Structure 1
Amino acid sequence: MGRYKLRTPRSAIVLVLEVQAGDGTALLGHRHVVMTGSGPKLGVLLLLAVLLQTVVVTITVLHFTTALNSMKETFARSSVSCLTGSDLQSVSAARGDPCWQVTQQLHLLIEKSLSQRYQRHISSAVRDEVSRVLPSLVMEDRASPRPKVAAHVTGSYVAKVDREGASVSAGRRVQGQKISWWEGKKGLAFLQDVQLLDGELVVQQPGLYYVYAQTYFRHTHSVEEEGEELEELEELEERGRPLLQYVYKKVSSYPVPILLMKTSRTSCWSRGSQFSLHSAHQGGLFPLGPGDRLFVTVTNASAVDMDEKSSFFGAFLIS
């Protein structure tokens, strides 16, 4: 019987064989595999390193996740605290303050919203006020913006012999005498995208217009009146003399002018006074089309005081 050892040069395996040589038959008596050397230590170290790295990565991920959630919560709380703080209206905060950008953006948004709302309400209020007192307010405030489509014509002094009311082709269907001596360029008068032809305002653009007119009547006693019969004068004084003002519209599709407005006032002329003053004013909203014409008639055109601040006529586009 013999014993043999097989050792690999650098392996950690030792193979032990026992051989029985009696009858020449080789028997494997024992097998022993023994691990020797530094191999087990290296494997354990490698395994420990992998486990340690896994633990470190896991802890790092958990830490950053927790920190991120904490930052989000802190930012949310700080944003809300900026809106609920006592110094929300303060604009003197330093730019390094976390609340500075939040408050600045909030202030800008509030100012923009209030400005838009203020402009809408002011525009409506101004339009209503202008409709009530126009044109005196607009004419006195020369710096105020004028409407894009508007006209304001004023009285123009002419010789009294030339101040007889112009005849209207429609005949009796139009009441009163037409005033045809309006001024459209000088003094307080102006024309913007509206024409003045033969005492009539000619509209160029369609839309809803505010139309207004005022006439100032100045009655003076003449020689002819003094020579009238006493009975007729007494009758006129008892019943008074009516002052009527009409505003008409002429359209190309209809041959007869259309009455838009009229106003009347009955005034008694005193025989003891040299003159009497009375005014008639009216205004309203009307839809007008391209080419439509507007004109004013009165009962006695020769009695109208054509001062630019007393007698005027105009229209402006609303929408």
Structure 2
Amino acid sequence: MCPHVSPDPCGCPQASGDRPLSEKVQQDRPPTKKPAAHLIAGADVSSQPNGSLRWEPGKSWAFIRGLGYRGGSLVCRQPGLYFVYAKVQLGAPGCPTRAATLHGIHKRTPRYPGVLDLLVNKVVYCPQAHGVPWARHSFLGGLVRLETGDEVFTRVQAPELVRAVDGTRSYFGMFMV
């Protein structure tokens, strides 16, 4: 073995006196403060006038960093590739007449006059007899390119079915990758 190279604890060679490579890479890379948000459903998860669900950006472990929040929407301030996600817990003490609803993540942008669907899921519920309590969930997540001013929000066709228990059942967020 070369006298100028000694193995580190994992057996990888390194020059004498040098820090382990993993430590050096972490110290040489500036800490990133990429935009991110995680919102939870509060006591009032009803729809906003624009159709998006209402979220609690300042409760429990919810947070917003480098993004805006307006009318149930997360507002992009820095263009880039984002992972967007939303989970809703749906339930009721009995089955309503409609046995399916849509859950979606949508985008509003100043460059297009309408709402754009990013991810949509059809949730079928109430397979059991009427009058029996039921619960289902829907999770959506995917990568999307966002520009400054784009608004991302989530909708449920029947918002009265969304359940907010403790911030773990229904949530919505995104982060830059």
Q: With structure 1 as the length reference, what TM-score do the two structures score?
A: 0.46
Structure 1 residue aligned with 2:175: 316
Would the aligned equivalents of 1:165 and 1:301 in 2 still touch at CA under 8 Å?
yes
1:265 corresponds to: 123
Distance (whole Å) between structure 2 residues aligned to residue 290 and residue 305 of structure 1 = 32
1:218-297 alignment, distance < 5 Å? 218-221=91-94, 241-268=99-126, 269-273=128-132, 275-297=133-155
Is residue 2:21 matched to residue 1:148? Answer: no
In the alignment, which of 49, 55, 64 is matched to residue 191 of structure 1? 64
Structure 1 residues 195 and 220 mapped into 2: Cα distance closer, same or farther (>3 Å)? Answer: same
Q: Is the 8 A contact 2:5 2:15 kept in 1?
A: no
Change in 2 beyond 3 A, CA 1:187/1:164: closer
Q: Partner of 1:108 in structure 2?
A: 14
1:177-200: per-residue Cα shift (whole Å, max 9, x none)?
A: 431x20111101000011111111
Matched residue pairs, number? 166
Unaligned runs of 5+ in 2: none
Q: Is the 8 A contact 2:73 2:151 kept in 1?
A: yes
Task: Give the match for residue 48 of structure 2.
Answer: 166
Which of 208-217 and 243-252 deviates more? 243-252
Q: 1:246 and 1:252 mapped to 2: Cα distance?
A: 20
CA distance in 1, matches of 2:72, 2:94: 28
In structure 2, distance between residues paired with 1:164 and 1:194: 22
1:302 match: 160
CA distance in 1, matches of 2:40, 2:122: 21
Give the share of equivalent positions with the same residue, in percent. Answer: 27
1:201 equivalent to 2:60? Answer no
Measured in 1, the distance between the counterparts of 2:14 and 2:67 equals: 42
Please say if residues 155 and 311 of structure 1, whose CA atoms lie closer than 8 Å, have aligned partners that are also in contact. Answer: yes
Greater RCO, CA 8 A, separation 6+: 2
Aligned partner of 1:75 in structure 2 is none
Aligned CA RMSD, in angstroms, stands at 3.0
Greater helix content? 1
The 1:315–1:164 alpha-carbon spacing in structure 2 relative to 1, beyond 3 Å, is closer
Amino acid at match of 1:192: R
Q: Displacement, 1:146?
A: 8.9
Checking the alignment, whether the CA contact within 8 Å between 1:165 and 1:300 is kept in structure 2 is no
Residues 252-309 of structure 1, C-alpha deviations (whole Å, 9 max, x = no match): 1211011100011212253242x21100001000000111101111121011002311
Higher Cα Rg, which structure: 1
Cα distance in 2 for residues equivalent to 1:147 and 1:276: 41
Q: Which has the higher strand share?
A: 2
Amino acid aligned to 1:203: C
